[in-house]
């Protein structure tokens, strides 16, 4: 069996995935092909993996390449972990919106940063899918690339079987179990929605709802203080959801739009990455990874398999076993009150015949409405990324909940224009195209409005609501 990992320069994550897959029983021989634009990091992963293989006598081999097509050729599974533009692009994603007053937390899923990451990433992923059609048409694509929803959405017409994988559901149910002091295995749940905003619509223990007990906990200051944003959304909208406080604060219009919201909801020390802290950590990692063998001192051992879904899906499909997980797939009626053509996160069953997404029916109306506020942005971001239409970039930013709560339409257009100019090297589909500038209209003192002739009867009808 061949597993191709595209974007394998992500040292720690790539190592984790390889070690997970190596522990699958009865898998047989596995060839790993690690692809990245350079071998600077993949060579570190290979050295480490070779030592593990030798120590434990594993039936596996690891090769590295800078050729995407060589990695894909004959693959049974393709795992994507790439990031187009790296730290340099990420700095523009954060710093330019902040200059205009849009204070993001992570900026990789929604908000201006997430939109521009979509613009950079979608063309690369679509090229990858087209190459898969030629070189490994039956392979399953396991996507870990953010923005998860827009990337998976953009691949819907490529003919490649793809599922997007995140760890939000499995980490959140462990968090809930910890709060309620219950074993995870004893909790029955259904979680569905969109990536980074999926809702636990069912949360039970021995046939009884756990929501009353969870609500009681979040009415206590010591619990609420842990996660003010997610806790507040839970209290106001009735359901617990998958995204951490830091991320969630930038998907909604309520928490980061002014100093009061920031001081009230975004002040905890372990917030998950405030803007300055996120940029600082990204710079540290970029410098630390530059030319260093980050795995040199790692213990040569096989740790317990991680909570990442990837290896369990491969095991289910390749070894004809059963595994249930939450995956990102095209909706097509799975959630009946979300658009049929959007990307949703729902329960999926994997077995020897492939992947089987589960229909979950309607979400609670208020949960679907919050999802739709993000889906509208995702739709326009995908449209812009594929078409290269700069106006669609402006529209996506203008509908983004945080941006719309912070800026005027003219400011949004100026911000989008500046970001397109700053990130042009990673956005070839725009080829110098920019949004139309907003005309500067100066209204002198005493300006009179233009009088337009109107039928008096029509004016009266409109005024009194008769039309």
CB contact burial 431-458 (16+ within 10 A = b; e otherwise): eeebbeeeeeeeeeeeeeeeeeeeeeee
Neighbours of 223 (CB within 10 A): 14
CB contact burial 101-112 (16+ within 10 A = b; e otherwise): ebbbbbbbbbbb
Are 303 and 12 in contact, with CB atoms under 8 Å apart? no
**Residue 146 annotated as binding site:** yes
52 Cβ contact partners less than 8 Å away, ≥ 6 residues apart: 19, 22, 58, 300, 301, 302
Catalytic residues: 167, 251
Taking alpha carbons only, the member of 79, 85, 104, 54 closest to residue 278 is 104
Are 156 and 94 in contact, with CB atoms under 8 Å apart? no
Give the H/E segment covering residue 96: helix 86-100
438 Cβ contact partners less than 8 Å away, ≥ 6 residues apart: 409, 410, 413, 414
**60 beta partners:** 30
Q: Which residues carry a binding-site annotation for Mn(2+)?
A: 166, 196
Q: Which residues carry a binding-site annotation?
A: 146, 166, 196
Q: Which residues carry a binding-site annotation for substrate?
A: 146
């Amino acid at each position: 069996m061949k597993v191709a990992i595209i974007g394998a320069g992500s040292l720690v994550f790539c190592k984790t995935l390889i070690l997970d897959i190596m522990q699958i029983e009865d898998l047989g021989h596995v060839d790993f092909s690690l692809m990245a634009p350079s071998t600077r990091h993949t060579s570190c992963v290979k050295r480490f993996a070779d030592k593990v293989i030798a120590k434990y006598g594993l039936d596996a081999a690891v090769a590295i390449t800078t050729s995407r097509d060589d990695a894909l050729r004959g693959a049974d599974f393709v795992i994507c972990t790439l990031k187009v533009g790296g730290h340099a692009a990420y700095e523009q994603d954060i710093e330019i919106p902040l200059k205009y007053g849009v204070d993001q937390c992570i900026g990789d899923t929604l908000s201006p940063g997430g939109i521009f990451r979509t613009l950079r990433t979608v063309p690369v992923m679509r090229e990858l899918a087209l190459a898969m059609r030629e070189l490994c048409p039956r392979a399953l694509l396991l996507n870990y690339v953010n923005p998860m929803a827009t990337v998976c959405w953009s691949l819907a017409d490529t003919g490649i079987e793809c599922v997007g994988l995140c760890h939000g559901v499995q980490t959140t149910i462990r968090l809930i179990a910890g709060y309620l002091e219950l074993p995870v295995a004893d909790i029955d749940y259904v979680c569905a929605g969109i990536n980074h905003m999926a809702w636990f619509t069912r949360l039970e223990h021995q046939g009884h709802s756990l929501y009353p007990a969870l609500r009681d906990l979040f009415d206590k200051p010591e619990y609420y203080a842990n996660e003010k944003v997610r806790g507040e959304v839970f209290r106001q909208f009735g359901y617990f959801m998958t995204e951490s406080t830091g991320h969630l604060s930038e998907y909604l219009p309520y928490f980061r739009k002014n100093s009061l919201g920031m001081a009230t909801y975004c002040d905890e020390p372990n917030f998950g990455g405030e803007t300055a802290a996120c940029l600082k950590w990204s710079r540290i990692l970029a410098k630390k990874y530059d030319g260093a063998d980050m795995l040199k001192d790692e213990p040569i051992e096989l740790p317990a398999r991680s909570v990442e879904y990837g290896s369990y899906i491969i095991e289910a499909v390749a070894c004809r076993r059963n595994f249930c997980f939450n995956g990102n797939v095209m909706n097509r009626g799975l959630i009946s009150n979300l658009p049929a053509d959007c990307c949703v996160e729902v329960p999926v069953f994997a077995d020897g015949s492939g992947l089987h997404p589960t229909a979950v029916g309607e979400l609670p109306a208020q949960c679907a409405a919050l999802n739709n506020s993000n889906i509208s942005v995702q739709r326009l971001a995908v449209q812009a990324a594929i078409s290269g239409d700069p106006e669609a970039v402006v529209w996506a930013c203008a509908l983004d909940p945080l941006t719309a709560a912070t800026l005027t339409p003219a400011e949004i257009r100026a911000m989008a224009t500046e970001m397109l100019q700053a990130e042009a090297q990673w956005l070839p589909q725009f080829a110098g195209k920019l949004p139309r500038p907003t005309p500067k209209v100066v209204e002198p003192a005493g300006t009179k409005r233009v009088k337009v002739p109107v039928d008096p009867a029509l004016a009266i009808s409109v005024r009194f609501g008769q039309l």
